[in-house]
Amino acid sequence: MVDISVMLCGIELSNPVIPASGTFGYGYEFREFYDINILGSFSFKGTTKEPRFGNPTPRIAECTAGMINSVGLQNPGIEKVISEELPKLKECFNKPVIANISGFSVEEFVYCCELIDNCEQVGIIEVNVSCPNVKHGGMSFGTSEKSVFEVTKAVKKVTTKPVVIKLSPNVTDIVSIAKACEDGGADGISLINTLLGMKIDLKTKKPVVANKMGGFSGPAILPVAVRMVYSVYEAVKIPIIGMGGVSRAEDVIELMLAGAAAVQVGAANLINPYAAKEIIEDLPKVMNKYGIKSLKDIIGGAHNG
């Protein structure tokens, strides 16, 4: 009998598999496919202070071993998420959920995190610092050590629940960014978000997505995710949620060996709505194949040799 349970920021999860933000809606949409309580948890759709329609269409482009998306944080705003979306979720999900919060200023991050911190259903707050910071020339919060430190410190002042900072891989040195999060008081690191990508239609000779560029995700980026999780694990003492190209139980174990305490599944959910469920069901078989008795015991295992 194998043990697939894990601990994440002081919360015990029945397994490490967590659908990633933006790929699982607010959860209840998937209940028609299966009982979502099989999940360790899930990170709900990126939520901002004000409602957002998102970017113009087309927003999605298929490409080799992955996809490009430029949805643009479409969501109804934090207040409606709390008053309308979370009550719907409560009807079908009885585990702590991860609240993914995005913002365009430190003040907006603080506002949203303080509100969501009061929600009983929320176990962990995932702060996405990969979005454009319109107050600083369009730079992303997640590309500056100073910015991620400021956001983390400000959010931690108004929250009581664990705060995990979701980082962008579109940086020169992911380790220094992660360390800045830890210095700011983060309880965990979530990585990687999508890589910046582009696809051009050969017939029209124009970019496929209206925004020209978007986030590249899918199996092709798994080696990048493994490398970044491995590097960050050696530099920080706080837990890591690994993600990027996960589509199989084997990918979960690889990221955990690199140092992840839990693993998010993103683009795979958009291709196969049963992806996370199938990965969870396959975990015991794959663990037996590789002589693994407990997932807790393999976290960071690739650093021991």
Bond from prior residue into 51 cis (ω within 30 degrees of 0): no
277 Cβ partners below 8 Å, 6+ apart? 33, 34, 38, 39
Q: State the pairing for strand pair 97-102/213-217.
A: unpaired
131 catalytic? Reply is yes
Q: Which SS3 state, helix, strand or coil, does residue 4 take?
A: coil
36 Cβ partners below 8 Å, 6+ apart? 27, 28, 30, 42, 92, 93
Q: Tell me if 43 sits within 8 A of 279, measured CB to CB.
A: no
Q: Is the dihedral of CA 63, 67, 70, 74 positive or negative?
A: positive
Cα 73 to the center of its chain, rounded Å:
14
Residue of 9, 112, 113, 131 with catalytic role: 131
Of 265, 245, 241, 252, the closest CA to residue 298 belongs to: 252
Q: For residue 65, what are the CA distances in angstroms to 123, 211, 225, 245, 303?
A: 33, 21, 15, 9, 28
φ/ψ of residue 291, rounded to 5: 70, 35
Of 18, 20, 57, the closest CA to residue 218 belongs to: 20
Q: For residue 21, what are the CA distances in angstroms to 117, 176, 264, 267, 291?
A: 18, 24, 9, 10, 32
Tally of CA atoms within 13 A in the half-sphere of 32 that contains its CB? 1
Active site residues: 131
